[in-house]
């Protein structure tokens, strides 16, 4: 199977030859900046099955989990595409809104709910974790 996606302007494209390992909705404070007020939804792929085309820029910084994260975005349209944790180089965390078909990644849990605002719409049907859950794989 092949999953593809890219940024709003089309300058950056990516594809994965394997389905995501896990998908999570995240309400950490950083994701609220990237998600423009909402959280983000991130599908975790293995780096070995993931191919990218086009230039990205990187905003590096510490996540609330303590991990040093590289957050990659399109320098033309500003779309955040994926992030990578230095401690877990075999994984890439793709912003699900950039998939050509976002239905291919279904969240399995909501994380960092302790950081969500009171009005956040958080699924009743998914497990909630107040902070960072154990690593995906």
Using CB under 5 A as the binding rule, whether residue 28 contacts Zn ion is answered as: yes
**Minimum distance from CB of 35 to Zn ion (Å)?**
8
Using CB under 5 A as the binding rule, whether residue 74 contacts Zn ion is answered as: yes
**Minimum distance from CB of 94 to Zn ion (Å)?**
13
What is d(CA 71, CA 96) in angstroms, rounded to the nearest whole number? 14
**Which CB atom, from 18 or from 94, has the smaller least distance to Zn ion?**
94
List the x/- string, 31-60, binding to Zn ion by CB under 5 A.
Answer: x-----------------------------
Please tell me the number of Cα atoms within 13 Å of 27 on its side-chain side.
Answer: 20
Instruction: Out of 18, 21, 68, 77, point to the residue binding Zn ion (CB under 5 A).
Output: 77
Using CB under 5 A as the binding rule, whether residue 120 contacts Zn ion is answered as: no
Using CB under 5 A as the binding rule, whether residue 122 contacts Zn ion is answered as: no
Q: Is 43 helix (H, G, I), strand (E, B) or coil?
A: strand
Using CB under 5 A as the binding rule, whether residue 7 contacts Zn ion is answered as: yes
25 near 7, Cβ under 8 Å?
no
Q: Is 134 helix (H, G, I), strand (E, B) or coil?
A: coil
What is d(CA 79, CA 89) in angstroms, rounded to the nearest whole number? 22
Length of the chain: 137
Using CB under 5 A as the binding rule, whether residue 92 contacts Zn ion is answered as: no
**Minimum distance from CB of 8 to Zn ion (Å)?**
5
Please tell me the number of Cα atoms within 13 Å of 50 on its side-chain side.
Answer: 22
Terminal-residue alpha carbon distance, the chain = 20
Binding site for Zn ion (CB under 5 A): 7, 9, 11, 26, 28, 31, 74, 76-77
């Amino acid at each position: 199977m092949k999953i593809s996606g890219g940024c709003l302007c089309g300058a950056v494209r990516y594809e994965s030859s394997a389905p995501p390992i896990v998908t999570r909705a995240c309400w950490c404070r950083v994701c609220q900046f990237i998600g423009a007020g909402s959280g983000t939804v991130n599908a975790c792929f293995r780096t070995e099955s993931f191919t990218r085309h086009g230039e990205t820029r990187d905003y590096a910084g510490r996540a609330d989990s303590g991990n040093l994260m590289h957050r990659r975005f399109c320098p033309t349209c500003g779309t955040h595409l994926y992030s990578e944790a230095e401690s877990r180089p075999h994984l890439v965390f793709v912003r699900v809104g950039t998939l050509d078909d976002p239905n291919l990644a279904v969240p399995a849990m909501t994380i960092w709910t302790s950081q969500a605002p009171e009005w956040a719409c958080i699924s009743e049907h998914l497990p909630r974790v107040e902070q960072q859950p154990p690593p995906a794989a």
